[in-house]
Amino acid sequence: MKEKKIDINGQTINYLKVGNGKKIVFLLPGALGTIWTDFRAQIEKFDKNKLTLVVWDPPGFGKSRPPERTFDTNLYRSDAEFAVKLMEKLNIPKYSLVGWSGGGIASLIIAGKYPERIEALIQWGGKSFIMEEEIEGLKKIRDVSKWSNAMKKPMEEIYGEAQFKELWANWVDTIELCYKQNDDFCDKLISNIKCPTLIVHGGQDSVTHADHATYLHQKIAGSKLHIFPDGKHNLHLKYADELNDMITKFVEAV
């Protein structure tokens, strides 16, 4: 499995395309996440005769540098546009989206803005707006020096200790700014989503409030909701086999 790089408007985009399936699925990582930090369990375990996977390092993260990542309140809308342009450059006009956390937000934006391109949407840990209590939770984990070594080591290996600390703090500050400016991420777009949609949520998710999953389920016509009662924010790691099978069946049914 060999990653490739492509230039999009002066931005390096690192991506991996693997598999031989007729159904193409684009996987979008979370904040500061990369192909392998976020989706190794999916890449290695999916049935690649059924699906073709496209996975990327979002702009300015991982190997999608230079340039380095800068943050503003359009961060997820910007990611969504780069994602769409990547698939255009790869000559893939229709595909399904699998998004986690920040990648889930970008996926919601893509599906709402470009409904004619998206065959199915599966997301967990995403949201169309942010709550005050979520901001308070992010403030508690802003200082990465207080993280466990198991949590911060993979990111420090990619970015280095100093840059990871700076990137994470900037990301947290930007999300707080979005909240203060009443930036709803994509709340006005989600009613435009027409594709079959599966919303997954972990009952023990301490980052994304459970109300988001219920809200998205109510707002996206015909969507389905699945709860992993003991799942955390990164439920796709613990429940990789079950979630992979769920995603495969959902995409194949479209």
Q: Round to whole Å and give the CA distance between 228 and 210.
A: 11
Tell me the mean pLDDT in the region 42-66. 97
* Sequence spans of domains, the chain: 4-132+184-252
**Catalytic residues, which ones?**
101, 205, 233
Does domain 4-132+184-252 sit in CATH 3.40.50.1820? yes
Rounded Cα–Cα distance for residues 112 and 186 (Å): 8
Per residue in 192-218, pLDDT (tens digit) is 999 999 999 999 999 999 999 999 999
Among 178, 189, 171, 197, residue whose Cα is nearest residue 80:
189
Q: Which residues pair with 24 in a beta bridge?
A: 52
Minimal CA–CA distance to 175: which of 95, 83, 105?
105
pTM over cut 0.95: yes
Nearest to 67 by CA among 155, 2, 8: 8
| β-pair partners for 13 | 6
pLDDT at 1 over 90: no
Instruction: Give tens-digit pLDDT for 241-251.
Output: 999 999 999 99
Task: Check if the beta carbon of residue 53 is closer than 8 Å to that of residue 25.
Answer: yes
CB 230, CB 204: distance < 8 Å: yes
pLDDT, tens only, 123-170: 999 999 999 999 999 999 999 999 999 899 999 999 999 999 999 999
